[in-house]
Amino acid sequence: MHAVVLHAPHDLRIENYPVADLGAGKVLVRVAVGGICGSDLHYYQEGGFGNVRLQQPMVLGHEIAGHIEAVGPGVVGLTVGDRVAVNPSRPCGQCSFCRGGLPNHCREMRFYGSAMRMPHVQGGFRERLVCDATQCFQARYASVSELALAEPFSVALHAVERVGSIRGRRVLVTGCGPIGALVVAAARLHGAREIVATDVVAEPLGVAAAFGARMAVDVMTQPDALAALEGLVDVAFECSGNALAFRQAVATLRPRGTLVQVGLGGDVAVPQTLLVGRELTVLGSFRFHEEFGTAVDLIDSGKAALSGLVTQSFPMREAVAAFEIASDRQRAMKVQLVF
Q: Residues interacting with Zn ion, by CB under 5 A? A: 37, 63, 91-92, 95, 98, 106, 152
Q: Which is nearer to Zn ion, 136 or 217 (CB)?
A: 136
Distance CA(247)–CA(318), nearest Å, equals 39
Q: Which amino acid is it at 135? A: Q
Beta strand pairing status for 253-261 and 63-71? unpaired
C-alpha 209/C-alpha 123 separation (Å) is 32
Q: Which is nearer to Zn ion, 108 or 230 (CB)?
A: 108
Q: Which is nearer to Zn ion, 34 or 257 (CB)?
A: 34
Residue 54 CB, shortest distance to Zn ion, in Å, is: 17
Nearer to Zn ion, 106 or 298 (CB): 106
**Least Cβ distance, residue 174 to Zn ion (angstroms):** 19
CB of 123 to Zn ion, least distance (A): 10
CB of residue 190 to Zn ion, shortest distance in Å? 20
- List, edge to edge, every strand of the sheet that includes 11-16: 11-16, 2-8, 58-59
Q: How far is the CB of 327 from Zn ion (least distance, A)?
A: 15
Cβ-based nearer residue to Zn ion, 63 or 234: 63
CA nearest neighbour of 179 among 260, 102, 233, 124:
260
The answer to whether the beta carbons of residues 236 and 160 sit under 8 Å apart is no
Residue 236: Cβ-neighbour burial (10 angstroms; 0-12, 13-18, 19+):
buried
